[in-house]
A and B are shown apart, each in its own frame.
Chain A
């Protein structure tokens, strides 16, 4: 008899608001440097309040490394953005660097994020296999290029497969069994919805213009048309985002497993859309002050709709910590310096 375990979230918008505002204040006062410490505190709050079977998550990253990572990434981004102003080759160089380093960045970033994430004081981890990463992303790149982007779903699946099936919790490895076709179905549906939205938008605005002509003053007509376009186009974009997020999360979570533990996600596009749409309105009309409330709401919805299935609760006690690889050696200290955080 398998048992269901809910993901519980204990945080609330009130507490989170205070953490957020103090983070913002200190970031402003330190001219942005504190943003790395703010990120850690923010994550510690969200992770720590997320519980499965009475065990908490934690985020243990060193803010100094996050700062270094941000500086390096910022430098490359500036080169890409403004380099061409100085010499045309600089922007190109930044892009080439990014492409060549991408598989390395994926591995390094995943190692950093996962080794600094714990559940019940046991660390997550990621493979050190750079060769596999280069192989995987070369193939994914070729698939995309040769199909002129049409087979993007299969490349994306390779990416998800690589990042998930190379992750560990303690000494146990995750498994992932979705196929490119599953992802393709989602992307294809997104395309159809996009078309549908464009057609609806044209019908609604056109219809409204036809009905309203002559009924309201000439000055008001353009405003009504503009407002309708804005609201429906905005809602359309939010709907596609909601569809994309819920379907991908459901697929990825349901296709993953970890040594006798299965995951079940049942996010609904309609519900997710309602939350995103009201969040956007709340943030705009509160001039950003309701941002923490909006984030908590979204996180809570995700937690409430994800479950774990395991034989019994003892299973969660039996994971064994992987010894830190090569603790204390000089080579690892050098490698360690290059472990930095990358947020995509």
Chain B
């Protein structure tokens, strides 16, 4: 058998036009004007084919032969079937299309089910110290950015808030709940929870809801829901897992960060729904209406609209739309 191709002798970068003669256990390299070389066939390595690149034969002295006569190359070591496998798969749409569908389904399942479940399990098992560490680093960040100022509430109002809060946390003594009132210009009426149990409630939100203590408690319960369900930890684990999956498994490379931002907002919306459910359940247990939370949300949204703050489209937002949240609260 004769195979036409190019030969590199392993010592220089010169390319020689050459013909391989495969005879029995010996492979001979014939070049014009050069001495014939001969190698034992068993010591010649054939590399698997990749697309339409020339196929490579490597010799023990670092010499190399490349050729596009793929069919003939296959006959040199007829038993190395596994080396043909990858190209055989890549070459057939009959394999590619199912592979594509399978990958898509697996990616969807990983994103939709596996990562959230794994994150949930890990969040439940990690020690409480982890939450404390996360809370501390967030606090440092808040201080550095000068995000929050000292509260302007009267002592009697502060006392009122404290009572409302303690009434709710009595059932959750194992968690280190703590309420902080704060003034802020950047956020407007808002409340948020840190992983280890510290909850911030802004003065402007108090002004907005002060007529109805039930609404204040509904918002506090929503934030407590985030802490009880360990959402801070869960989000951290989930995002790290998603980033690993996107960059190493899917191979998005530089695009991983952008995709992470777009994809992880859905996780955040799920957590908001869970916190809403927690609040609704607790409100009912106290003989209060779950819709109290809905009303508080509506007031906050009205306030936002008044100030013409920019609205984020729902598919990328970290929170579900207020209408959707109110609808599901009505069902509770």
Instruction: Verify that A and B bind, or say they do not.
Output: yes
Flag if A222 contacts B12 (CB, 8 Å): no
Partner of B50, one of A28, A41, A170, A280: A41
Q: Is the CB of A27 within 8 A of B52?
A: no
Output the residue of B8, B248, B310 with the most chain A CB within 10 A.
Answer: B310
Among the listed stretches B96-104, B182-190, B196-204, B324-332, which one makes contact with chain A, having 4 or more residues with CB under 8 Å of it? B96-104
- Please determine whether A121 and B10 come into contact, CB atoms closer than 8 angstroms: yes
How distant is the Cα of A291 from the Cα of B256 in the complex, in angstroms? 11
Option from B107, B248, B308, B313 in Cβ contact (under 8 Å) with A32? B248
Query: In the bound complex, do residue A48 and residue B15 qualify as a contact, i.e. CB atoms below 8 Å apart?
Result: no
- Closest-CB distance, B153 to chain A (whole angstroms): 30
Asked whether B213 is an interface residue with its Cβ less than 8 Å from the other chain, the reply is: no
The digit string for B235-263, where 1 denotes a CB below 8 A from any CB of A, is: 00000100000001111100100110010
- Nearest-neighbour CB distance to chain A for B138, whole angstroms, equals 13
A319 at the interface (CB under 8 A from B): yes
Give the complex CA separation of A73 and B133 in angstroms.
24
Could you say which residues of chain B place their CB within 8 Å of the CB of A288?
250, 252, 255, 259
Q: With an 8 A cutoff between CB atoms, is B130 at the interface?
A: yes
CB contact between B312 and one of A49, A226, A316 (< 8 Å): that residue: A226
- Report Cα–Cα, A319/B50, bound state, in Å: 27
Contacting residue for A15 out of B52, B64, B309, B310, CB 8 A: B52
Say whether, besides A19-B50, A20-B251, A288-B259, A318 and B103 are in contact (CB < 8 Å): no
Nearest chain B CB to A275 CB, angstrom units:
13
Q: Using a CB-CB cutoff of 8 Å, which residues 89-122 of chain B contact chain A?
A: 89-91, 95-96, 99-100, 102-103, 106-107
The answer to whether the Cβ of B141 comes within 8 Å of any Cβ in the partner chain is no
8 Å CB interface, A38-65 against B: 38, 41-42, 44-45, 48-49, 54-56, 58
Among B86, B102, B311, contact of A222 (Cβ-Cβ < 8 Å):
B311
A216 nearest CB across to chain B (Å): 13
B12 adjacent to A21 (CB under 8 Å): no
Given contacts A19-B90, A85-B130, contact A320 B11 (CB under 8 A): yes
Taking CB atoms, residues of chain B closer than 8 Å to A3 are: none
B15 touches A222 (CB 8 A): no
Q: Are A58 and B249 in contact (CB under 8 A)?
A: no
Give the contacting residue for B248; candidates A35, A48, A56; CB below 8 A. A35
B42 CB within 8 Å of chain A: no
Residue of B nearest to A294 (CB): B255
B144 interface contact, C-beta 8 A: no
Set of chain B residues within 8 Å of A317, measured between Cβ atoms: 12-15
Tell me how many residues of A have a C-beta within 8 Å of chain B: 54
List of B residues within 8 angstroms of A32 by Cβ: 248-249
Asked if B249 contacts A28 (CB within 8 A), the reply is yes
A-side interface mostly = helix
Determine whether the beta carbon of B50 is less than 8 Å from that of A44: yes
Contact partners of B312 in chain A: CB under 8 A: 226
What CA separation (Å) do A284 and B156 show in the bound complex?
A: 53
- Does the CB pair A28–B106 fall under 8 Å? yes
Query: Does any Cβ of B come within 8 Å of A23's Cβ?
Result: yes
CB within 8 A of A321: which of B12, B50, B91? B12
Residues of B within 8 A of A144 (CB): none
Contacts of A21 in B (CB 8 A): 96, 99-100, 103
Q: Please, which residues of chain B bring their CB within 8 A of the CB of A22?
A: 86, 89-90, 95-96, 99
Cα separation A10 to B305 with both chains bound (whole Å) = 56
Task: Establish whether residues B51 and A15, one from each chain, have CB atoms under 8 Å apart when the complex forms.
Answer: yes
Asked if residues B313 and A226 are in contact (CB atoms below 8 Å), the reply is yes
Do A284 and B56 touch (CB < 8 A)?
no
Q: How far is the CB of A30 from chain B (nearest CB, A)?
A: 10
CB-contacts of B150-197 with A (<8 A): none
- Complex formed: what's the CA distance from A321 to B64 in Å? 13
Query: B86 touches which one: A10, A24, A41 (CB < 8 A)?
Result: A41
Per-residue contact bits, chain A 67-82, to B (CB 8 Å; 1 contact, 0 not): 0000000000000010
Asked whether, in the complex, the Cβ of B99 is within 8 Å of the Cβ of A170, the reply is: no
The answer, yes or no, to whether A229 is at the interface (CB within 8 Å) is yes
Evaluate contact between B15 and A320: CB separation under 8 angstroms: no
Chain A CB within 8 A of B36 CB: no
Given contacts A20-B251, A48-B50, A81-B240, contact A316 B13 (CB under 8 A): yes
- Residue contact A291 to B100, C-beta cutoff 8 Å: no
Tell me if A25 counts as interface (CB < 8 A to partner B): yes
Tell whether, in the assembled complex, residue A120 and residue B8 are in contact, meaning their CB atoms are under 8 Å apart.
Answer: yes
Q: Are A18 and B90 in contact (CB under 8 A)?
A: yes
1/0 per residue, CB under 8 A from B, across A221-249: the answer is: 11101100100000000000000000000
B53 beta carbon closer than 8 Å to chain A = yes
Q: Find A58's partner among B56, B62, B308, B309 (CB 8 Å cutoff).
A: B56
Within the assembled complex, what's the spacing in Å between the Cα atoms of A226 and B317?
12
Asked if B12 and A320 make an inter-chain contact with CB atoms under 8 angstroms apart, the answer reads yes
B129 at the interface (CB under 8 A from A): yes
Q: Which residues of B contact A291 (CB under 8 A)?
A: 251-252, 255
The 5 closest A-B pairs by CB, nearest first: A121-B8, A222-B311, A317-B14, A120-B13, A319-B13
Known: A55-B13, A284-B262. 8 other contacts (CB 8 A): A21-B100, A27-B251, A85-B133, A120-B13, A122-B12, A280-B255, A316-B13, A321-B13
Residues of A near any B CB (own CB < 8 A) = 10-11, 15-16, 18-25, 27-28, 32, 35, 38, 41-42, 44-45, 48-49, 54-56, 58, 81, 84-86, 119-122, 170, 218, 221-223, 225-226, 229, 280, 283-284, 288, 291, 316-321
9 A-B Cβ contacts within 8 A? A18-B96, A25-B102, A48-B54, A55-B13, A85-B129, A86-B129, A120-B13, A317-B13, A321-B13
